[in-house]
Amino acid sequence: MAPPNTGTVLSADRLVKRFGDLTAVDDVSFIIRPGETYGLLGPNGAGKTTIISMVAGLIPADSGSVDVAGTRMDPAGTAAKRHLGLVPQELAIYPDLSAAKT
Ligand SMILES: Nc1ncnc2c1ncn2[C@@H]1O[C@H](COP(=O)(O)OP(=O)(O)OP(=O)(O)O)[C@@H](O)[C@H]1O
Ligand SMILES: [Mg+2]
């Protein structure tokens, strides 16, 4: 049975990320509730990967916060990361990974 559509699985609150003069992510907030499928759409360079990187704690936000299953994401910590899995597009397949038995 699907979980009730209440509570929050993942939330981002007012995320900002700057690279020098470029504001790559400008005040982004969202809430994802149990059972929801959430898509992040935008043109090349819109900031999707930067948002996901902050959500996963791979890079720190300049401001704002991320909560995963009620735990605040801290790039330096592990507590929130235990609730999260990520397959980044750049690393989905390792170049040296072979199906052949060696
Ligand atoms: N480490 C970085 N240093 C400097 N600029 C960066 C860095 N990472 C991303 N940017 C810039 O931030 C902006 C957002 O990039 P990001 O990769 O998040 O976009 P995206 O929506 O994932 O794009 P794509 O659809 O091409 O994957 C772009 O202008 C990009 O050049
Ligand atoms: Mg990207």
- pLDDT tens digit sequence for 86-97: 987 776 666 777
pLDDT at 99: 78
Position 100 pLDDT exceeds 90? no
Residue 75 in contact with residue 36, Cβ under 8 Å? Answer: no
Residue 27 included in any domain = yes
pTM of the complete model? 0.88
Residue 101 included in any domain = no
How many whole angstroms from 74 Cα to the centroid of ligand 1? 21
In short, whether 44's Cβ falls inside 6 Å of ligand 1 is yes
- What span, in angstroms and rounded, lies between the C-alpha atoms of 19 and 57? 17
Residue 53 included in any domain = yes
Residue 1 included in any domain = no
Range of the domain at 65: 10-91
Number of domains in the chain: 1
Question: What CATH number corresponds to the domain at position 72?
Answer: 3.40.50.300
Question: φ and ψ at 55, to 5 degrees?
Answer: -60, -40
pLDDT at 14: 98
| H/E element, 88 | none
Residue 40 included in any domain = yes
Residue 3 included in any domain = no
Protein residue closest via CA to atom 8 of ligand 1: 50
How many whole angstroms from 75 Cα to the centroid of ligand 2? 19
How many whole angstroms from 53 Cα to the centroid of ligand 1? 11
Percent of all residues in the chain with a pLDDT value above 70, rounded to a whole number: 89
